[in-house]
């Protein structure tokens, strides 16, 4: 049985797992109010709750590209994963600052649940950052040509280390 069509369908599943959490977070966050600390805290917190699904989607797209030998998909996906990891660092820092600001105005009886929610989101952000960076690094490494393929390409183009010039026997080369 040919498994290749099944593997191609994993691209669609991966994209669904990427788009669905983004749409969910956007639906929660609409209308956009960047100036409100409560809105930012809720929006980033809701996205961090869905971050696992998003990461699985990215990983599935990268794995599918790898299995199908689509090196460009894997390379670009790896770069995107590293950029997403960097963006999560910024989002986590912003979330932590918003958490501190909101904690000062929240009722005392609600602080326990608020702290747990904040800690859960920050842990998710740190783990998500780690996952994205590791996925990106692995994808970039996997997207490289094997050493034997690079060597074969060099040999066919006449590139490589030049040891000496071709001289006929009995000539001095002058």
- pTM for the model stands at 0.75
**Per-residue pLDDT tens for 104-118?**
888 888 888 888 888
Three-class HEC string of the chain:
CCCHHHHHHHHHHHHHHHHHHHHHHHHHHCCCCCCCHHHHHHHHHHHHHCHHHHHHHHHHHHHHHHHHCCHHHHHHHHHHHHHHHHHHHHHHHHHHHHHHHHHCCCCHHHHHHHHHHHHHHHHHHHHHHHHHHHHHHHHHHHCCCCHHHHHHHHHHHCCCCCCCCCCCCCCCCC
pLDDT reading at 133 higher than 80: yes
**Per-residue pLDDT tens for 25-57?**
888 878 878 778 888 888 888 888 889 999 999
What are the φ/ψ torsions at residue 139 (nearest 5 degrees)? -65, -45
Average the pLDDT over each of 18-22, 38-42, 165-169 and give the range with the smallest value.
Answer: 165-169
Residue 53 CA to its chain's centroid (Å) = 13
- Do 103 and 66 touch, CB atoms closer than 8 A? no
């Amino acid at each position: 049985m040919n498994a290749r069509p099944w593997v191609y369908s994993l691209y669609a599943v991966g994209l669904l797992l990427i788009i669905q959490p983004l749409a969910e977070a956007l639906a929660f966050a609409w209308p956009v109010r960047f100036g409100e600390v409560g809105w930012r805290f809720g929006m980033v917190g809701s996205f961090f709750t869905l971050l696992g699904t998003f990461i699985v989607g990215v990983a599935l797209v990268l794995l599918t590209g790898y299995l199908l030998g689509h090196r460009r998909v894997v390379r670009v996906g790896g770069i995107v994963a590293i950029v997403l990891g960097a963006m999560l660092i910024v989002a986590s820092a912003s979330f932590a600052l918003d958490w501190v600001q909101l904690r000062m105005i929240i009722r005392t009886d609600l602080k326990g649940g608020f702290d747990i929610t904040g800690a859960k989101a920050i842990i998710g952000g740190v783990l998500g950052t780690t996952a994205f960076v590791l996925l990106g690094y692995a994808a970039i490494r996997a997207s490289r040509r094997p050493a034997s393929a690079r060597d074969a390409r060099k040999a066919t183009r006449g590139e490589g280390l030049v040891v000496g010039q071709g001289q006929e026997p009995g000539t001095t080369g002058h």
